[in-house]
Amino acid sequence: MDYFKGFEVIPAVREIFGGATDEILMNLQAEFFSSRFGYMGVSDEDGHLLISSYYLKEGNVRDLYLDVIHELIHVQQFKEGKELFDESVEYVDRPTEVEAYKHAVKEARRLGMSDDEIVEYLKVTWLSEEEVRRLAKNVGVKVARKPSRGRRVRIS
């Protein structure tokens, strides 16, 4: 709550944690690291947020917001005892990732983002165009037939 003020009243966040939202967010630790690489994540040791201070400074505000929503799903998944990093399943097919992206996509749509804009949001440096298409399909986002010319690299 010190770093992301007002998140406790956002409906997308309250949907994740329900009546425990205030308590969970008050007790959620955020660890900032200084690196041009890395974006945001959740510790598999204790479920706290890991955030690149570079990304926080240089990232697109809308992407940052959606990434926080995505990572808060992982916080809840950690609390439920789910395996966050099951390496036996590819990233774009991993149930925990699909759930987190679905929640972020739902919020993106609430913000008025088009499917094309959401696909751009899904494009991250570690995914190929084919993986982005598969992830989009997994989370219910339509991908235009014609691939984009340039790949936008977001700091996330």
Q: 98: how many CB neighbours lie within 10 A of its CB?
A: 17
pLDDT of residue 148: 52
As beta bridge partners, residue 32 has: 51
Q: Which two tokens stand for residue 32?
A: 């900032």
Output the CA–CA distances (angstroms, integers) from residue 117 to 5, 50, 105, 108, 136, in the order listed. 26, 26, 10, 9, 11
* Burial of 139: CB neighbours in 10 Å, binned 0-12, 13-18, 19+: buried
Cα–Cα distance for residue pair 28/115, rounded to 1 Å: 32
Give the list of residues 6+ apart from residue 109 with CB closer than 8 angstroms, or none: 118
Question: What's the one-letter identity of residue 31?
Answer: E
pLDDT of residue 146: 60
Query: What are phi and psi for residue 52, nearest 5 degrees?
Result: -75, 120
The structure tokens 């959620």 sit at 28
pLDDT in tens, the chain (156 residues): 677 889 999 999 999 999 999 999 999 999 999 877 789 999 999 999 999 999 999 999 999 999 999 999 999 999 999 999 999 999 999 999 999 999 999 999 999 999 999 999 999 989 999 999 999 999 999 998 765 554 444 443
User: Please, what CATH class does the domain formed by 7-138 belong to?
Assistant: alpha beta
| Domain ranges (residues) in the chain | 7-138
Cα–Cα distance for residue pair 9/25, rounded to 1 Å: 11
